[in-house]
Structure 1
């Protein structure tokens, strides 16, 4: 290439992390009801579910204020999303926080060490408690 030729513009590849952070902020900003907000925050923290295109298609709707979470849409699609058992259990517990589905609290025994603290924090948010910490017992 000579100095007079312009190099073709290379489109910037979107940063998946930046896109996820933007989506998370929008969903949380557009969720007003406390129990729905606790559920959306749990999905944001868990990350693997909210990163799946099938979950995004079922969950996210466009509103006047941006993207919003429609949790009721996930209930009917729960078994058609291609989730593994751990993801399905976690999603069932999250949906039960907003009164959707029939997940029992006993299903927490099926959660792994990463998802259990997320659910525990979500339950505390649901209760409006910000004084109890969730962490490793010594």
Structure 2
């Protein structure tokens, strides 16, 4: 396309939802260990943690196959990521699922949004995809 004097090119707007979905898909595709995949899936579903730029800088590394999650990098940085208490507790439990740190379920106070995410992550960790987690009717 030729531009004449006086014309300006408008940069394409980035759709944050599409960008997040692409990142999520790539992270999950490049995570092969089941317990790590369960942890990444929980972070993808929880969304508020993984959407934070500080978390992305600490978690995501470039690999030969694209972006990948390096969960060990989050361990020592949990208190420097700008997370609120609920996010920090959720992240602590997710990291303990992969053997990083120790967080007990008894210390958790889950809201209605995060509880099903953790329950599904535990099922993925166990390799069970037959038990449904959701609201009873």
TM-score category of the 2 structures, normalised to the smaller one:
over 0.9
Per-residue CA deviation, residues 46-97 of structure 1 (Å, 9 max, x unaligned), is: 0000000000010000001000000000000001111101001110110011
Are the counterparts in 2 of residues 89 and 111 from structure 1 also a CA contact under 8 Å? no
**Aligned residue number for residue 31 of structure 2:** 31
Partner of 1:47: 47
List alignment gaps of at least 5 residues for structure 2: none
Partner in structure 2 of residue 136 of structure 1: 135
Q: Give TM-score, length-normalised by structure 1.
A: 0.93
| TM-score scaled by length of structure 2 | 0.93
2:86 alignment partner in structure 1:
86
The 2-side partners of 1:112 and 1:52 are apart by: 20
Query: How far apart, CA to CA, are the structure 1 residues paired with 2:7 and 2:78?
Result: 48
Alignment of 1:59-70 (within 5 A): 59-70=59-70
Equivalent residue for 1:71?
71
Question: 1:137 deviation in Å?
Answer: 2.9
> Which whole-Å CA distance do the structure 2 matches of 1:65 and 1:99 have between them?
25
Tell me the CA shift for residue 6 of structure 1.
6.4
* Alpha-carbon RMSD: 1.3
Stretches of structure 1 lacking an aligned partner (at least 5 in a row): none
Which residue in 2 is equivalent to 1:18? 18
